[in-house]
Amino acid sequence: MAAAKKESSAKRTTKAKTSGSKASASDGGVVNLPKNIALAGGGYCLFAPRYPRRITEPGFADETCISSAVVPGVYFLSFLNGGRKMDTVCAGFEMVDGKAVLKHVAGKITITETRFITQDDRFVSDLELKNGSNEELELHVVMWTTTDPEGEPVSMEADSFRIRRAIGPVGSPQVPTDIHFSNPDSKGARCLQAYFCEGGSDLGNFEETPWFDMGHLQTPRAKRPVEKPSPIIAGSRVYAGLFRAITLKGGGSAAHRFEANVTFKGKGVTYRARRPDVKDENGYKAFWSNVPVFECEDKGMERVVKHRFELLYLLRQQQGAGLYTSAAVCEGNGESHIPTSFSAPAVMRESRWLHDPSYSRGCLKIFFDNLLHNGQVPGRVYMSGTDSSDFYHADWGGGFEALDQMHNDKATKKTVLMAMQRYVKWLGNNRDPEGSGLTDIVNHFESGQEFSRRYTVIDSKADRAVEFTEQFRLKGIDASVFRYRMVKWLYAVAEEIQEKAMANRFQAEVEVILETVRKKMWDEKSGFFMDLDPVTRRKTNVRAAVGFYPLATDIPNQKQVDSMLDLLSSREEFWAKYPVPSIAMSDSTFDGSGRWKGTRKGSPWNGRTWPVVNSHILEGLTYWAERGNKKAAKLAGDLLKRTIKMMSGELDGSFEPNCLEHFHPENGIGSRYRGVDMNLNSFMLDNIFRIGCGFAVRYGEIQDDPIGDAADFKLKGVPLGNKLFNVERKSGKLKVAAQ
C-alpha cells in the first residue's frame, strides 16, 4: 500500500509519500505530492487506488472499493466563480489522524479539503474556503458523479440525490448499494437535473457535464426519479449532482461538508451502520489505542511492524452486512478487498497481536459460518453470497493454533469445531478419494500459486485454466501439510473439550498423513519434499519452494531436515540475494522477472520471491532452531533480514515500508506494476517478534528464547489472555511486566 505513513508524534500526524510530481504552492514555493492516499473507516469501503490518476483532485475522484466491488470514483468536486469553472492546483498535503488534508489553490482562493471515510461508510470532504482578495466573490461548489444507465433511476431529492445499484464483478455475487449524496451540514444545497448522455470519460472534468453546456446549473422541477430514455444507447452514462452557492467576502472564509453515504439494501442484505462518534468518525483513535507500540534499534523492522498494523486498520471491516457475520480483515485493495480463505490464516496471525481478538477470531468464523452445504470452505465470502467453484487450500490449523496461544477461548473452539470437522471430511472425500492421506490440487488457482511448472508437468495446458474447475489431479505437498496441521490441531481441540470419539478419528488421520508424506513425498536424491503424480505415483521432480513447508511440523526426521537446509542454503538453487524464489533457480522455467512463456504475469510462481512463502519457511526454520539446529537458526536470522530489506523501503531508498505481493530474487524490486501495495497473505509480525526480537508466546506466558542475535526493542501492550504486558529487551536482557 502506498498510503501516507504516521510519525511517532502523540497526534499520530503523518506526512505524504513524496514523488517526483510537484505543484506550485500559493507562496510560490514547491511541495511534494503523494503517490497515493489510503483511507478507510473500518466499515466496508476503502479508498486506495491501485493506479492513482486523480489522487489530488477534490473529492473521491479515483478508484474506490465498496465492499468487493471496485468503482472508478465516488464523486467529484468542481468550483465555479461567476459561473466559470476554476482550475485548482494541489499545493499541500498531509495525513492527520487517518484523514487526508489537501490544500487546493485557484488564484487567490484557497480550499482546504479534509478527506476521510467514516465508520458508517460516509465518503466525506470537509471544505474550508478562504478568499485571499479584497473583493466579494460568488462561488458555487458542485458535487457530481456519473453512473451507468441500467438499474434503478437516479432519485433527485430537492437538496440531494440517491443512486441505488447492485455493483460488482460479472459472475460474482453483487454488492447491493444505496448511496446518498448530500451537503448535510446546513440547508441551502440544490439538486441538479440528472441527464442521460452519450460519450464522456471517467475524468473529473466539469466541462464534459451537460450543465456546462447549458451555461447554468439547472435544477429539477420537483422531487422525482430521472426519466429513462428509450432505447438506452450502449455506452451512455448518467450525470447526477448537486450544488451550493457560497458568498465569500473579501478576506472571508466559509466551511461546508459534502458526503456520500453508502448503505446496503438488496436481496438478503439490509444494513445501515450506526452513526459514529463525531470526535472519532473514522475509528482512528479507537483502533490505535488498542495496538501495541513498537520501538526497535532495527529501524527496518520497526517500519515494517508499524506498517502491518496500518494495514489492519485500513483493511478491517465490521460485522452485520449480509453474510459478514463477524468482523474480519480483507486481503488487500482493488479486487482483493474481500475476505479470502487464502489469506485468512495469515491475517489471523497478524491480527492476534491486537488487544481486541474479534478480528482474528472473525477471520476464522466468517468462513466456517458460511461453509457450503457439502462442507467446502468458500474461497471468498461476498456480502450477498458465495461461489461454489471458488476454493483455496489454506493453513487453517496453523492460524487457529497461533490465535489460541494468545487468545484462548473455548467458545470459539466449540463454535467452529463441527464446521471444521465437516471441512476435513470434504477434503477426504473430494481431494483424497482413494484415502491415501495426501491432498489433491485440481487446478493451478486453488493453491494460490498459479503459473508454475508444478502443474504443467502434470498437464501441459494447466496454465490455461480460467476458472476454479477441476483440470488435473496433483498430490500437493503444501495442501497435504496444511491438512496435516489442521487435523493435528483439531485433535488437540477435541481432546481439550472432551470430544473423545472425534479426537480418536483425528488422531488416526494424523498418523496416516504423517507417515505418507514422510515416505511418499520425500525425494532422497534431491533431499526435498515434492508433489506426487497420483496416476504414475511418482514424484514430479519439480523443486518448488513449498517443499520446505514440512519444516514447520514434525513430519521430517533429522536427516531430512539437514538435507532440506543444505538445499535451501544452496546459492545455485534457492539462496538468491533475496530468497526464497518460488521455484529452484536451476529449473528450466525459472524467471525472476515474473515472465511466464514470454508474458509478465500478475501472480507468477516460477521464480519470484513471495513473502507468503518466506513466512512459512521462517516458521519452519524457527521450529528446528528451537530444537537446537544451529544452521536453521542462522538461516532464519539471515532470511528475516533480507525479507525486511525488501519490505522496509531500504532498497529503493524511500524508507517507506510496503506490502507488495512478490519481489525479484536478485535485486529485491517488488511488484509495483500490480498496483497492489497492501496485500496481507503473509504473516510478518510473528516472525519479527520471534526471530528478530527473540521472545516466544507459549503456554500462556511470554518467554525469553532467542534463536539468534535478537535486537533491543520495546513493545508496549502485548495481549495475552485478558492481560496486557510490556516487553523490553535492553543490552540483550528481556524484561516482561504486566500493565
Tens digit of each residue's pLDDT (9 = 90 or more) over 263-302: 999 988 999 999 999 999 999 999 999 999 999 999 999 9
Note whether 251 and 400 are same-domain residues. no
687-704 per-position pLDDT tens digit: 999 999 999 999 999 999
| DSSP per-residue codes, 118-161 | -TT-EEEEEEEEEE-SSS-EEEEEEEEEEE-SSSSPPEE-SS-E
Query: CB neighbours of 674 closer than 8 A, spacing ≥ 6?
Result: 50, 602, 660, 661
Note whether 463 and 342 are same-domain residues. yes
462-477 per-position pLDDT tens digit: 998 777 789 999 999 9
Type of residue at 497: I
Task: Indicate the SS3 state at residue 683.
Answer: coil
User: Domain containing 616 — which CATH number?
Assistant: 1.50.10.10
Instruction: Give the pLDDT confidence score for residue 31 in this predicted structure.
Output: 65
User: Domain containing 56 — which CATH number?
Assistant: 2.70.98
Note whether 311 and 231 are same-domain residues. no
* Domain housing 398: 291-738
Note whether 244 and 297 are same-domain residues. no
556-566 per-position pLDDT tens digit: 999 999 999 99
Type of residue at 102: L
Q: Is the separation of the CB atoms in 579 and 648 below 8 Å? A: no
Banded pLDDT at 519 (limits 50, 70, 90): very high
Instruction: Give the pLDDT confidence score for residue 468 in this predicted structure.
Output: 78
Tell me which residue of 379, 530, 550, 567 sits closest to 454, measured CA to CA.
Answer: 530
Note whether 538 and 611 are same-domain residues. yes
Task: Examine the fold and report which residue of 205, 238, 272 is the final residue of a domain before the chain moves on.
Answer: 272
Banded pLDDT at 93 (limits 50, 70, 90): very high
Note whether 466 and 513 are same-domain residues. yes
Task: Examine the fold and report which residue of 272, 306, 337 is the final residue of a domain before the chain moves on.
Answer: 272
Is the pLDDT at 486 greater than 60? The verdict is: yes
Banded pLDDT at 25 (limits 50, 70, 90): very low
Note whether 180 and 312 are same-domain residues. no
613-625 per-position pLDDT tens digit: 999 999 999 999 9
Residue at 67 is within a domain: yes
Per-residue cell: 480: 497435504
Which is it for strands 316-317 and 328-329: parallel, antiparallel or unpaired? antiparallel
641-656 per-position pLDDT tens digit: 999 999 999 999 989 9
Give the whole-angstrom CA distance, residue 228 versus residue 168.
23
Residue at 280 is within a domain: no
In the chain, pLDDT over 70 holds for what percent of residues? 96
Is the pLDDT at 33 greater than 90? The verdict is: no
Note whether 362 and 470 are same-domain residues. yes
Type of residue at 392: Y
Type of residue at 210: P
Query: For residue 110, which phi and psi values (nearest 5 degrees)?
Result: -115, 130
Residue at 557 is within a domain: yes
Residue at 284 is within a domain: no
pTM: 0.94
User: What are the Cα distances from residue 379, in Å, to 371, 376, 394?
Assistant: 10, 9, 10
Note whether 457 and 573 are same-domain residues. yes
Note whether 505 and 454 are same-domain residues. yes
Looking at residue 544, the DSSP 8-state letter turns out to be B
662-673 per-position pLDDT tens digit: 999 999 999 999
Give the whole-angstrom CA distance, residue 141 versus residue 113.
12
Note whether 266 and 320 are same-domain residues. no
Is the pLDDT at 4 greater than 70? The verdict is: no
Tell me which residue of 78, 45, 74 sits closest to 62, measured CA to CA.
Answer: 74
Instruction: Give the pLDDT confidence score for residue 227 in this predicted structure.
Output: 79
User: What are the Cα distances from residue 260, in Å, to 115, 168, 585?
Assistant: 12, 18, 51
Burial of 83 (0-12, 13-18, 19+ CB in 10 A): exposed
Q: Is the separation of the CB atoms in 431 and 439 below 8 Å? A: yes
What domain count does the chain have? 2
Is the pLDDT at 626 greater than 60? The verdict is: yes
CB atoms within 10 A of CB 43: 25
566-600 per-position pLDDT tens digit: 999 999 999 999 999 999 999 999 999 999 999 99
Residue at 296 is within a domain: yes
